[in-house]
Structure 1
Amino acid sequence: MGQKVIVCGTGKSGIAAARLLLAKGGEVVLYDGNTKLDAEALRKQFSEEDKVTVVLGELTRTDLLGVELAVISPGISLEVPFVQLIDEVGIPIWGELQLAYHCGAGRVAAITGTNGKTTTTSLVGEILKTNFDRVYVVGNIGEPYADHALEMTPETVTACEVSSFMLETTTDFHPVVSAILNITPDHLDRHHTMERYAEVKESITANQTEEDTCVLNYDDEVLRAFGQNIKPQVVWFSSRHTLEKGYYLDGENIVYNDGEKVETLMNVHEMTLLGRHNHENVMAAIAITRALGVPMEKILGAVKVFKAVEHRIEFVTERFGVKYYNDSKGTNPDAAIQAIKAMPGPTLLIGGGYDKHSEFDEWIESFDGKVRYLVLIGQTRDKIAECAKAHGFNDIMYAEDLQEAVQVCASYANPGDYVLLSPACASWGQFKSFEERGEKFKEYVRSL
């Protein structure tokens, strides 16, 4: 790949892509539309001999002279003017996922879905490590695929969390095992319609063959229909139906029906993860790793000791008889619904943030007498409050920021209550990321 490539976006994904291209002998134009960035500081992230040119602000046709490929970070919409300019000039557009896959090696298990991706990918990674010497856990989970592509060998096994944004810019990405955990409304500000959003998620199987495997949620009507007519072998999982073949919940047991006999694998109380949604994540992880050849004994052993990932229904601490949980990764209403369901008792809920054009009706309805107070912050607080009142929920308080919200909850909580940060919204506008929001929440809670 010794060509001249423009890398758009200077976050972790963009820098990783640029370094990979340079390692392959390429020349990089590193571009970002943010004129407030320090071009010299960006240049210093590379060695002096690296062929890197930094361009900030408006992208022009002159900047694209000699460029043979564009690699754009997943957070950049394909509809922004500079991407359309790149397309008009006729330069192929890849994402960091596509670039890393093209340069990497080994078998890949790719996990997507609206919710549960990070937990499932993390668990898949931990299971794989019990059976394989070379395992990588990369992608939307926070570790750029491109950082490790050149370390990978034919013996490598990679668990990759894949977002819809990443799938928009793939061409020949070919996981031997794919999984789509669920499809519920999210990112409609980018994809515009649920139909388009579902199509992008489903494209994870586009290059799979009859020899590959796709793990699907039988309870999701969109996926149930999708799974009827795809090339890879489909393995179903369900928390609500008894399956003729696949993994499902039978009471409190996870069982597997191979089409002839039913085998009880484990009781859900043998794991540390809370909630039905996590039972689904575990079944998906079992199906994925079994398809990769991991013995069931090793799979179940890893599941039993696995702890919740950071920022996803993460227990923080107990103060004065009140337990605090960090679900900052609950960035859409469906994810936040799962967090509420996982709370064992009366809950004070902190919600609100950046508006992704989500609807909050089902979220409010899921309170079902469990939520004592709803404390709202951010851009969406008025929209959420209006929706809550329309559904007859009026125990609403506003806070100017997350720190004040934590203090309000501490003041109104009774011993035995739970305080849950599960915003149902993105963090943008107040924080750089859901990770920063979650870290701040934990900091504020521990200082009470």
Structure 2
Amino acid sequence: MTEGWQWAGKRVTVLGLGREGAAIARYLAQQGASVTATDLKSAEQLRSVVDDLADLPLHYALGGHPEAVLDCDLMFVSPGVPLDAPILVAARERGLLLCSESRLFCFLCPAPVIGITGSSGKTTTCVLVAKMLEAGGRRVHLGGNIGNPLIGRLPQIGPTDIVVTELSSFQLDFFGALLDAEPRGDLVSPLFPEGGWSPRFAVVLNVTPNHLDRHPTMDAYIEAKSKILRYQQPEDDALLGWDDGIAHGFERQCRGRVTFFSLGQRVPEGAYLNGDRLVLRHSSGETEICSVDEVHLRGMHNVANILAACAVADRFAVAPAQMAEVARTFTGVEHRLEPVRELRSVWYYNDSIATSPERAMAALNSFSEPIVLLAGGRDKHLPWEQWADLVRRKVVQVIVFGEAAALIGGVLSGLGDQAPPVHRADSVAQAVQIAREVAEPGQVVLFAPGGTSFDAFRDYAERGQSFKRLVRDLTD
């Protein structure tokens, strides 16, 4: 696919030394490119990353982005870099080619790529798809926004393998046209085709308000998500969530075969819930997979994730019995409705991945028990009103923490005397202690913040680990 392409002698700047940035810097240096890595963090803050890359001839510009980093042929941008960062504005003004690790990997990958996106459910669906494909005897590589970047595994991936990659809106931002200006010389051919690139099998689970702290408008967020299928070819596949208006509406952009999954609608082709039965539907008929009661995961949103995974697996000839075995035995992914422990007849659940009100609502809807809710973190400029209405109906105590504590408390005060009691905590640690004091036997303590972790933690995983450690340290 890249015959004739040579990295040797190309000057490349890697903007941001997070996981993807470090991975692409390593790959490009190994391919002979002259790589400059730049990050706003200092060398001391990035000591472990720099040490890990010490065997490579990299150049560094740390603690800021000097103008010299723009003297390059191509710039790779890490997903965490804001699109309106001054250095990116300057790069666009110069007409620089902007790309990302995930786009380069997907284009270079010799195996079929299944790209999965959505505002929620991406990781769980990716893992389910990978497990079902493995149950069907396929060799699978799982990565992208979940786990480690895939670019370093290219040499181990063969044409008969399958790649399952989670793609966030941050990553998809760079799947469209690389720049508005005229490209330079040989830098778009054959490596970067005209326009953009989409995976051979694109999955859009849902599109609900999220990341509006990064994307200036909801329309911009939808635009980023749509790139997963906009550049598909007629022989490609798309799977869309029937029940989500925006995801379903993407059908108009699809150029290849389209299938659906649904919790309530008998879809033309794909997978749907018929009463309490998970069913595959084809033009030739229907095949039952299993019943909802057999599924281990909590919540109807997880049933939807399983249906999506089954629809994907079906296109790769996985037998329904193999799908059913995965659906029955899969116990979930860390930080996603993860049971932590039972204490004094109260179960504690970690859903740190709930970084938006919509995501927290899915967690709340997964329980019939009265809920003591821990909510907070950093707000993403998303609406909380529907979340508050659900809290009114399902939650008996709310403990707010973090930067968004006052905002959330204000939203709940709008419920008047229908609002549950609200407690203010200075930290997650204090929130856990308050939860222990107010929770009664038969209730559930749910850590589903609704905000991001960046006010106090590196990411949602570190926040979830902290919550679990605090809960396990509680004594009778």
Q: Distance in 1 between matches of 2:429 and 2:45?
A: 31
Tell me: CA distance 1:428–1:367, structure 2 relative to 1, closer, same or farther (3 Å): same
Query: Are 1:222 and 2:246 counterparts?
Result: yes
Aligned to 1:405: 431
Query: Are 1:21 and 2:28 counterparts?
Result: yes
> Aligned-pair RMSD on alpha carbons?
1.7
Aligned to 1:147: 152
Query: Are 1:362 and 2:356 counterparts?
Result: no
Aligned to 1:116: 121
Tell me: CA distance 1:422–1:28, structure 2 relative to 1, closer, same or farther (3 Å): same
Shift of 1:154: 1.2
Aligned to 2:57: 51
Q: Is the 8 A contact 2:38 2:69 kept in 1?
A: no
Tell me: CA distance 1:229–1:41, structure 2 relative to 1, closer, same or farther (3 Å): closer
The aligned runs of 1:54-133 (5 Å cut-off) are 54-65=60-71, 67-133=72-138
Residue number among 200, 205, 219 corresponding to 2:224 in the alignment: 200
The aligned runs of 1:120-269 (5 Å cut-off) are 120-171=125-176, 172-269=196-293
| Residues 157-166 or 221-230, more deviating | 221-230
Shift of 1:150: 2.9
Residue number among 8, 11, 20 corresponding to 1:4 in the alignment: 11
Residue number among 332, 341, 349 corresponding to 2:365 in the alignment: 341
Give 2:440's aligned amino acid: N
Instruction: Count matched residues.
Output: 446
Shift of 1:292: 2.4
| Residues 327-336 or 247-256, more deviating | 247-256
Aligned to 1:434: 460
User: Does the residue aligned with 2:148 lie in a helix, a strand or coil?
Assistant: coil
Aligned to 1:279: 303
User: Does the residue aligned with 1:263 lie in a helix, a strand or coil?
Assistant: strand
Q: Is the 8 A contact 1:356 1:426 kept in 2?
A: yes
Q: Distance in 2 between matches of 1:266 and 1:102?
A: 36
Q: Is the 8 A contact 1:177 1:292 kept in 2?
A: no
Q: Is the 8 A contact 2:289 2:321 kept in 1?
A: no
Aligned to 1:396: 422
Shift of 1:22: 1.6
Give 1:443's aligned amino acid: R
Moved over 6 A (4+): none
Q: Is the 8 A contact 1:322 1:417 kept in 2?
A: yes
Q: Is the 8 A contact 2:43 2:50 kept in 1?
A: no
Aligned to 1:316: 340
Q: Distance in 2 between matches of 1:40 and 1:249?
A: 50
Q: Distance in 2 between matches of 1:37 and 1:207?
A: 41
Q: Distance in 1 between matches of 2:41 and 2:355?
A: 25
Q: Is the 8 A contact 1:177 1:291 kept in 2?
A: no
Tell me: CA distance 1:8–1:37, structure 2 relative to 1, closer, same or farther (3 Å): farther
Aligned to 2:187: none
Q: Distance in 2 between matches of 1:40 and 1:400?
A: 31
Q: Distance in 1 between matches of 2:241 and 2:127?
A: 18
Q: Distance in 1 between matches of 2:153 and 2:120?
A: 25
Q: Distance in 2 between matches of 1:419 and 1:358?
A: 24
Give 1:325's aligned amino acid: Y
Tell me: CA distance 1:32–1:274, structure 2 relative to 1, closer, same or farther (3 Å): same
Give 1:321's aligned amino acid: S
Aligned to 2:316: 292
Q: Distance in 1 between matches of 2:320 and 2:441?
A: 42
Shift of 1:26: 1.5
Identity %: 32
| Residues 254-263 or 349-358, more deviating | 254-263
Q: Distance in 2 between matches of 1:243 and 1:45?
A: 49
| Residues 274-283 or 125-134, more deviating | 125-134
Deviations 1:86-144 (A, max 9, x none): 22222200011112223332011010000000100111111122234531110111221
Query: Are 1:372 and 2:392 counterparts?
Result: no
Deviations 1:295-337 (A, max 9, x none): 2222222222111100000111101110000000011011100
Deviations 1:50-88 (A, max 9, x none): 2201101332333333x2111111011121001112222
User: Does the residue aligned with 2:365 lie in a helix, a strand or coil?
Assistant: helix
Give 1:269's aligned amino acid: D
User: Does the residue aligned with 2:355 lie in a helix, a strand or coil?
Assistant: coil
Aligned to 1:304: 328
Query: Are 1:445 and 2:451 counterparts?
Result: no
Q: Distance in 2 between matches of 1:443 and 1:252?
A: 37
Shift of 1:368: 4.7
Tell me: CA distance 1:389–1:40, structure 2 relative to 1, closer, same or farther (3 Å): closer
Give 2:202's aligned amino acid: S
User: Does the residue aligned with 2:75 lie in a helix, a strand or coil?
Assistant: strand
User: Does the residue aligned with 1:166 lie in a helix, a strand or coil?
Assistant: helix
Give 1:345's aligned amino acid: E
TM-score of the superposed pair, with normalisation by structure 2: 0.90
TM-score of the superposed pair, with normalisation by structure 1: 0.95
Shift of 1:7: 0.7
User: Does the residue aligned with 2:450 lie in a helix, a strand or coil?
Assistant: coil
Tell me: CA distance 1:40–1:345, structure 2 relative to 1, closer, same or farther (3 Å): closer
The runs of 5 or more residues in structure 2 that have no matched partner are: 1-6, 177-195
Q: Distance in 2 between matches of 1:414 and 1:445?
A: 16
Q: Is the 8 A contact 1:354 1:379 kept in 2?
A: yes
User: Does the residue aligned with 2:126 lie in a helix, a strand or coil?
Assistant: helix
Q: Distance in 2 between matches of 1:257 and 1:224?
A: 17
The runs of 5 or more residues in structure 1 that have no matched partner are: none
Q: Distance in 2 between matches of 1:333 and 1:91?
A: 37
Give 2:152's aligned amino acid: D
Tell me: CA distance 1:36–1:353, structure 2 relative to 1, closer, same or farther (3 Å): farther
Q: Is the 8 A contact 1:104 1:150 kept in 2?
A: no
Tell me: CA distance 1:353–1:382, structure 2 relative to 1, closer, same or farther (3 Å): same
Q: Distance in 2 between matches of 1:315 and 1:282?
A: 19
